Structure 1
Amino acid sequence: MSSRAGIATITKRKNRSQRFPPILQGGFRPFFLGGAVWALVVVVLWVSVLTSGAKLATMFDPLVWHRHEMLFGYLGAVIAGFLLTAIPNWTGRPPITGWRLAMLVGLWLVARLAVLFSLLVGAGVAAVFDVGFVLVLAAVCAREIIAAKNRNFPIVLIVLLLAVANGLDHADAFGLVQLSGSGWRAGFTLIVMLIAVIGGRIIPTFTRNWLVKHRPTAASPAPPDRFDSVCLAITAISLAGWVAAFDPLAVGASLVAAGGFQAVRLSRWCGNKTLREPLVLCLHIAYAWLPIGLLLMGTSMLHPGVPLTSALHALSAGAMASMTLAVMIRATLGHTGRALRADGSTVAIFVLVTVGAAVRVAAPVLPFDYNRTVGLAGFLWGGAFLLFAVAYGPKLLGNSLKPQT
């Protein structure tokens, strides 16, 4: 096909997509909104279980369900929304829209309900839908990348690895294999590494762009170099050792080193010069949870008095939640034709998620009732996602202010 014919085909498909409701005109729209709502549902149900003894209709242990759904449910939706929005930019192909997008979102939603109500539908059905969604997402991404002969195919391999980790978590939870949590730890590690890799691309870039426009005389973030590669390698090796349950002392020391390297890496991105721009500053704050979490994780393996749960929540409720909210907000504003500016609700979202994560991380050592402290953390943290749904839901459901590119 000639380039002119290819452009005509793409234009035709884009025009056709405009016939669908706005929510089905881009993957970021239903998946970001659906993911935020699901995160709120999960934290509300988990806090209810923890504080009032409420029962869930899932075959998962409540704690395992909470962990699984935040990792593979909420983050699965955000990853889907991100990839379905980024891949058209990488490949020049039109985005997945309309009925194809609706079917993919529907599969994600059915998977969430099947896992939640697995006592009724069965563990096998829940696993098929849950793992099946990730596999279908990988197939959709692979089709678009291969058709464009794009070099970003490794992202498909990461999605496939997430599907494997998801399946192993199901098998472990239902006693089919004895993995001692290796499945969820593998998925957790993949997400942490995605944050480290993608954060290392977008945070210095967005910071540099803002500084060039608003503070042209200020020093710019250091460009990626060998130090970044070493930092990522140490982080990956350390987390792999944690997944495989290698010698705790060696893995703990390695994780502490990885946390130190990540802290130095973050300091090279000039976050202290972006105090006047919340949309950029929030990315630096979100990434700061990564070295904090790695340092806490390593320290917990070296000194049992430091709770591992604090490290895990620094990386999940802190780094993963904050970074995904930051990305969802920027993508929503940019892809719906709005100015990249943080209003009051946006600032409140980041304050709530940051304070909520901090309270949850500190909960085991605070001199207050643990369950009530966790409930407070859940209230604050969940409030961030509720506010995102309220403030950004209309933008995701409505028409763009200008045509999307």
Structure 2
Amino acid sequence: MNQPLPFPQRSSAAPPATPALQGLPLLRLGFRPFYLGAALLACVSVPLWIAAFLGLVQLQLAIPPLLWHAHEMLFGFAVGVIVGFLLTAVKAWTGLPTPRGATLGALALLWLAARLAAFVAPYWMYAALDMLLLPVVALALLRVLVQARNKRNIPLISLLLAMAVANGVFHLSAMGVLQVPATSALYAELALVLMVISVIAGRVVPMFTKNVTPGLAMNIPRRFELSLLAVTAVALLLWVCSAPAALVAAASAAAAVMHAVRLALWKPWVTLRRPILWILHASYAWMPVGFALLAAAQLGWLPTSLAVHALAVGVVGGLIIGMLTRTARGHTGRPLQASRAEVLAYALVMAAAVLRVLVPAVHPQWYAGALHGAACLWAAAFAIYVVIYTPWLMRTRLDGKDG
């Protein structure tokens, strides 16, 4: 005779963890290990480079320290953040899982191994480890996007593969295999990072701004957006390919104007009371400044390095510190409101850009002091991030959800 099933009894024991929450929190989503690693690299490598530049330490490297510094900032720091962001974003865009657990840990260790190999391994091993990450991540993300039929974001994969090519050219140049200046590969990588930023910022910055400003209207024609991306790509391509200076200057000036118009259309003045948002607008403001300086450099008015660092420190560094905080807060279940320490980190990165770019432009004789000061401000900003976010990135979300 069948007996009725008893009602479930309450148990004092905690319910078992769901499968999604098993494993180390640090390896549950791509932003966790890569954001932490990139921030650590930012606050350690820049002071190390400045110490080498000032003759305070001797770096045992197979390539000139200047090339190592530029490479690590682009292919170590920026690529690490981009990989962490895309591993996280593609999951949100598609609803399908991206690498996590042991697979994510292997990717993070590959990134770290390349950073360390620059000091302790033969150059060919450093190059091999460094060149492997981007193609592997690109293929992993492409599989997810194809499975989800998410055609809109597949072009981002081509940018990752183009970055992998630029990285390969850099290493082959450094080893003497290709007779191409290593700086050209670095400029190409900066150009690709700026293109990724131009695409992603065009989606998220106006969306974030409208989400927190009830009734705010933004009418940004799609034709303008496509034209801006085209002009930006042409200007950067001409610069990387060392086209005639007048042509590069004209294209760069046009890009500067279009990015300034885009920023105005985003209405940045409505964000002044929201630091976690104004840092994105303030960083993007360096985009027209950087292109204007690039145009001036082509005319021989200023050193090209000022334009490069306006784009690298102001745009890339500023947007990265803004996105590192905003996305990490959101994906750890915390409110999207920056603390005073985080606001200080934002201000330090913006001040570092001013010291590195504008002070030498106005007073070239202050170059060494400005360089030293900018490095200290930059390192302090990312050290703040490491101190605040390391515990958060190594724990489960506050709301108990996966991610």
Q: TM-score, normalised by structure 2?
A: 0.92
Distance between the aligned counterparts of 2:402 and 2:219, measured in 1? 32
Check if 1:355 corresponds to 2:351.
Answer: yes
Letter aligned with residue 87 of structure 1: V
CA-to-aligned-CA distance 1:253-273 (integer Å, 9 cap, x gap) = 210111011101110111111
What residue number does 1:256 align with?
253
What residue number does 1:121 align with?
121
Check if 1:372 corresponds to 2:351.
Answer: no
What residue number does 2:159 align with?
158
> Aligned to 2:61, what secondary structure does the other structure show?
coil
What residue number does 2:139 align with?
139
Letter aligned with residue 263 of structure 2: L
Letter aligned with residue 193 of structure 2: I
**8 Å CA contact retained: 1:50, 1:371:** no
**8 Å CA contact retained: 1:204, 1:222:** no
**8 Å CA contact retained: 1:111, 1:133:** no
What residue number does 2:319 align with?
323
Label 1:20 to 1:224 Cα distance change in 2 as closer, same or farther (>3 A): farther
Distance between the aligned counterparts of 1:301 and 1:15, measured in 2? 59
CA RMSD of aligned residues (A): 1.5
**1:186-335 equivalences in 2 (<5 Å):** 186-212=188-214, 216=215, 219-302=216-299, 304-335=300-331
Label 1:169 to 1:367 Cα distance change in 2 as closer, same or farther (>3 A): closer
Q: How many residues align?
A: 383
Cα deviation, residue 136, structure 1: 1.2
Cα deviation, residue 25, structure 1: 1.2
Distance between the aligned counterparts of 1:99 and 1:15, measured in 2? 18
5+ residue gaps, structure 2: 1-16
Check if 1:61 corresponds to 2:64.
Answer: yes
Distance between the aligned counterparts of 2:116 and 2:155, measured in 1? 30
Cα deviation, residue 345, structure 1: 1.1
What residue number does 1:336 align with?
332
What residue number does 1:10 align with?
none
Cα deviation, residue 138, structure 1: 1.2
> Aligned to 1:60, what secondary structure does the other structure show?
coil
Distance between the aligned counterparts of 2:64 and 2:380, measured in 1? 25
**8 Å CA contact retained: 2:20, 2:402:** no
What residue number does 2:3 align with?
none
What residue number does 2:9 align with?
none
Distance between the aligned counterparts of 1:108 and 1:224, measured in 2? 39
What residue number does 2:170 align with?
169
Mean CA deviation greater in 332-341 or 366-375: 366-375
> Aligned to 1:153, what secondary structure does the other structure show?
helix
Distance between the aligned counterparts of 1:99 and 1:371, measured in 2? 45
Name the larger-Rg structure: 2
What residue number does 2:382 align with?
385
**8 Å CA contact retained: 1:356, 1:380:** yes
Check if 1:31 corresponds to 2:34.
Answer: yes
What residue number does 2:25 align with?
22
What residue number does 1:5 align with?
none
What residue number does 1:103 align with?
106
Cα deviation, residue 404, structure 1: 3.8
Distance between the aligned counterparts of 1:324 and 1:363, measured in 2? 23
**8 Å CA contact retained: 1:207, 1:221:** no
The percentage of counterpart residues that share the same residue type is 38
Cα deviation, residue 387, structure 1: 0.6
